[in-house]
Amino acid sequence: MWMAKRAYEATIFQTPRFGEPKYRQVCRLTVTASDHHEALSILYRMFNVVDLMPKNCQARFMGTGDIVLIDEGRKGQTYYRLCSGGWKPVERQRVILTEYSKI
C-alpha cells in the first residue's frame, strides 16, 4: 500500500559518552518519510555516514542507547531508543535529560 510522505520533527538525544545515564539534545531537524520506521531509518543513516551528517549538529555517530523524539504536533510525541534489536518505543519518563541546550 502506498503511503504519502510527510514531514516529521525529529530531535536527537545523546549522552556525552556512551553508557552515561543523562541525555542532552544534540540536534533538531525535519525528516520527510511515510512513517516513523522510515524516519528512524533515514536518521540512522544520516548520523552514521560522515558526508550526510548535518554540519549544525553537535552529535556523534548514532549508537545503541541514543534516543529520537518524533513530534507530530497535535498527534503527540513518540520517543524511540536504539537497542541492539532495533528501535524500541520508550516512555518519556524513562528519558533523563541534562540541562536544555539550544542548538
Domain ranges of the chain: 6-94
Collapsed DSSP state (helix, strand, coil) of residue 49: coil
Residue 9: other Cβ atoms inside 10 A: 15
Predicted confidence band at 97 (pLDDT cuts at 50, 70, 90)? low
C-beta separation of 56 from 87 below 8 A: no
Identify the H or E element spanning 45: helix 36-46
Whole-prediction pTM = 0.83
Angle 12-17-23 (CA atoms, 0-180°, nearest 5)?
40
pLDDT average, residue stretch 43-52: 90
Average pLDDT of the residues in 14-40? 89
